[in-house]
Amino acid sequence: ELILFIGSGLSSYAGIISAQDLTKKISQQLDITKDISLEKVSEYFITAHSHDELCDLMSKEIAKVQKPNLELHKKLIDLGVTISITTNWDNLLEIVSKEKGFDPQIMVSSAEIIKYNEQKPAIFKIHGDFNHKDLIVTAESQYDNYSNTHDFMLTRLKSLLQNKLKGKEKEE
């Protein structure tokens, strides 16, 4: 049984702003002209403004896509994979899943993760989403503190992966 690990390339293919272009947009807001990582410029933005303002800026940039190309999302859902782990903040995977007749559990917050049912499909959004702005991870300090702020997520994913590996060993 497959577990999909999905990064920003899938959203970029759909037409969502790339991490590189998002970095440029945030840098422009701060009048930063040198090349800098998304993690670092996000840190600067949060310090100068706030995490909520950063999330609003990112959400507006993502929302600019009127008709995303969901071809790859649909192909991934057609594989019948029941567990997806993604770093993407957008909801394209959820939209396509529902269009295809799946009703995946969306795992972002501790409250959702506690209710996780292994018998149902799930999307684990390890860097948060715009429905849980406080859990969005983009800045250096957020990555540095991830094990403290997202401990339920890490524990659930470790358990999930261990169970999949144990099941694989039993089959062999």
pLDDT in tens, 149-171: 999 999 999 999 998 787 655 55
Contact 75, 92 (CB under 8 A): no
Residue 113 confidence (pLDDT) above 80: yes
For residue 165, the model assigns a pLDDT of 81
For residue 171, the model assigns a pLDDT of 58
Mean pLDDT of 63-72: 91
Mean pLDDT of 118-140: 94
For residue 167, the model assigns a pLDDT of 66
Dihedral sign for Cα atoms in the order 66, 72, 73, 77: positive
Quickly count: other Cβ atoms within 10 Å of residue 67's Cβ: 7
pLDDT in tens, 16-59: 999 999 999 999 999 999 999 999 999 999 999 999 999 999 99
